[in-house]
Structure 1
Amino acid sequence: MSDFRPSHVLRKCAAIGAVAVLAIASACGGATGESDATDDGDSSKPLIYGAFATPLEEPWDGAIHAALMEAKEDGTIRYKYVDNLNTADKMERGLRDIAGNEKPDAIIGDAFAAEEAVRKVAAEFPDTPFAFGSGEKPVAPNMSVFDNWLQDPAYLAGMLSGSLTKSNTLGVVAAMPIPEVNRIVNAYVAGAKSVNPDVTVKVSFINSFFDPAAAKQAAAAQIGAGADVMFAEREGVIAAAEDADIPVIGMMVDQKSDAPKHVATSLLWHMRPTVDAIVEQATSKPAAEDLGEFSFMINEGSELAPLNADIVGGIPEDLITKIEAKKSEIMDGSFVTPVDESAPAGSIDVSKD
């Protein structure tokens, strides 16, 4: 059987190790989240500080943390972090404390729920590079932005799902209808319809970046309505798919270990190219850059995890070949996944039910 593998050895190692890293991280994080255990004390290396809005069990921030841990293990940086800064006030106080007292060489995190707070503190410390996941623009002199551009692996995952479904109904549970989520969901839908024009894709938004219970409940409702393949854009969906004994697509890191007989593959976000760009700022001078291109699949910033043929129902060999061929077209530039950031057709906000 042919094998759908990441194309770059370093990226492959990062993806395989990410779940283990997150398991370690969750033990270090928690309510306060701060962990000094990752700092080896070597002042010749730049100190990078992670400031995360969610617990690190949430895959989006977990992917950033995994890349920073990898850079730390490579001896490139010193690394400290705090997680669960889940309100704008907490984020603002946390960033001001980090920048003023820890004096890191750069701060990296996510600003989607606290854009104004992050930018306010960045302006107060113009000599410290800030690089945050954001839907807004960079701000001179020191506020860079990035995002997870996963439309390519999402399209491939959609092809897989559209081919595996027997009911012609797929389910997606996602955070909220904002551009960076919409483009992933829409690419998944487009991939599914490219191989199965008759497929219906149910999309539910839970209006939260981290609410596993709500996500699981929304997934169970979709499964009850006929969905027989799920896309876990949010944490909690895999558990529902495992309970229902159906295939599911993971998100951000390779989530196969969460349900080895049910996770068919995962969208992988390789943050290391972005981290390396931020470290370069930390060792030179602050900048205001859009670092989004470092997450593109063609730049090895995103990928589809190895296809898991051992899932319930299996994955046919000819389907693996078809997905490999489309991946090659993406990587050589002959196919460009459409970027559609509008709200997916027919989507619902289950948080209002």
Structure 2
Amino acid sequence: MIQRRPLILSAAALAGLVAVGLPQFAFAQSKLKVAAVYTVPFEQQWVGRIHKALKAAEARGEIEYKATENVANADYERVLREYATAGNQLIVGEAFAVEAAARKVAKDFPKTMFLMGSSGKPQAPNFSVFDNYIQEPAYLTGMIAGGMTKSNKIGMVGGFPIPEVNRLMNAFMAGAKEVNPKVEFSVSFINSWFDPPKAKEAAFAMVDKGADILYAERFGVSDAAKERKVLAIGNVINTQPQYPDTVVVSALWNMEPSIDRAIKLAKDGQFKAEDYGPYSQMQHKGSELSPLGTFEKKVPADLVAKVKAREAEILSGKYSVKIDDRQPKSSK
């Protein structure tokens, strides 16, 4: 009779396994420790999409998730270091205003994985970047706006004129021009990621100049549209439930493809510095056009047909929306 002996690994043997490339074994058997550092509140739309995707992974039992909101730029590096020192394996955040500090921390913690919103390039070996490349649905919302405006004047309020904002506004403008060459734009930036009152005032000024549709890149714009009884186009999240008679449609950002990919690679020991930007595009389900909802019967059928046809061409690869990161300008 053959006796089966239990396999017992000595500490030295286990260390040898790790040395030949099996650190992912420990990750796969336990929850990945993930932390996030945000400079704005969870309710802010851009950060809210990242937070939502991470909370979903937490609910599935894949990660342990901790997050800090409203971190001042001056404190960002300190909070990053605290999370890295505490043993968090993956750290997520937005480094647009703190690029140098975030990249410095990544260099000091080469075994910690970083996935940061950034307009810059990945930094080997552990600093991956992402951005909301949702210019495709933004283009489609522009088509709807261009076909819905009666005054041929559209107001656009953005946060900062940086690539992640510029490319969406430019795509929106191009989409509007496709269906309505006569449309004119008034463009303004509030130089803040979260200042609804300031965005609202900027939008009021545009309505006063004849705009009957507002592009709500920031919170506060849809409030102005509602008060002045004009239409609004949403960005990143679907706010039509809050503004059923105001928000026609939105370009939605889904961060799940990027977050889920980073988690899997981290657990498999395959995480490396790369650009996650493409995973925000429609082909990866990282972005989409929201349902028309309450405006389903208010948007002309021929316009809906044009948008659906263009959407199908984007998804099939027959049509490519130009990525234009230049600062958009008001019409002359």
Q: TM-score, normalised by structure 1?
A: 0.83
Aligned pair 1:68/2:61, yes or no? Answer: no
Aligned mates of 1:321, 1:224 — CA distance in 2: 32
> Structure 2 residue aligned with 1:278, among 258, 262, 287?
262
User: Per the alignment, in what secondary structure is the counterpart of residue 288 of structure 2?
Assistant: strand
Aligned pair 1:172/2:156, yes or no? Answer: yes
Aligned mates of 1:193, 1:86 — CA distance in 2: 39
User: Per the alignment, in what secondary structure is the counterpart of residue 243 of structure 1?
Assistant: helix
Q: Is the 8 A contact 2:244 2:294 kept in 1?
A: no
Q: Is the 8 A contact 1:238 1:258 kept in 2?
A: no
Corresponding residue for residue 288 of structure 1: 273
Aligned pair 1:145/2:145, yes or no? Answer: no
Q: Is the 8 A contact 2:95 2:117 kept in 1?
A: yes
Deviations 1:296-319 (A, max 9, x none): 1122111111113448x9212222
Cα RMSD between the aligned structures?
1.8
What residue identity is the alignment partner of 1:57? E
Aligned mates of 2:83, 2:60 — CA distance in 1: 24
Deviations 1:179-233 (A, max 9, x none): 2211110100000000000000111111111111111110111011111011100
User: Per the alignment, in what secondary structure is the counterpart of residue 315 of structure 1?
Assistant: coil
Corresponding residue for residue 307 of structure 1: 292
Written as runs of structure 1 = structure 2, the 5 A alignment for 1:210-249 is 210-249=194-233
Aligned mates of 1:218, 1:258 — CA distance in 2: 21
Q: How far is 1:286 from its partner?
A: 4.2
Aligned mates of 1:345, 1:215 — CA distance in 2: 17
Larger Rg: 2
Corresponding residue for residue 79 of structure 1: 65
Aligned mates of 2:163, 2:237 — CA distance in 1: 21
Aligned mates of 1:68, 1:92 — CA distance in 2: 21
Deviations 1:21-78 (A, max 9, x none): xxxxxxxxxxxxxxxxxxxxxx821121111111112111111011111222223222
> Structure 2 residue aligned with 1:92, among 77, 83, 96?
77
Q: Which runs of 5+ in 1 are unaligned?
A: 1-42, 349-353
> Structure 1 residue aligned with 2:317, among 318, 333, 350?
333
> Structure 2 residue aligned with 1:202, among 186, 197, 203?
186
Aligned mates of 1:301, 1:264 — CA distance in 2: 21
Q: 1:309 to 1:326 in 2, by over 3 A?
A: farther
Q: How far is 1:347 from its partner?
A: 7.6
Corresponding residue for residue 53 of structure 1: 39
Deviates more, 1:183-192 or 1:319-328: 319-328
* Number of equivalences: 304
Q: Which runs of 5+ in 2 are unaligned?
A: 1-28
Q: How far is 1:235 from its partner?
A: 1.1
User: Per the alignment, in what secondary structure is the counterpart of residue 208 of structure 1?
Assistant: coil
Give structure 1 regions of 4+ aligned residues with deviation exceeding 4 angstroms: none
What residue identity is the alignment partner of 1:280? K
Aligned mates of 1:50, 1:200 — CA distance in 2: 40
Aligned mates of 1:260, 1:346 — CA distance in 2: 28
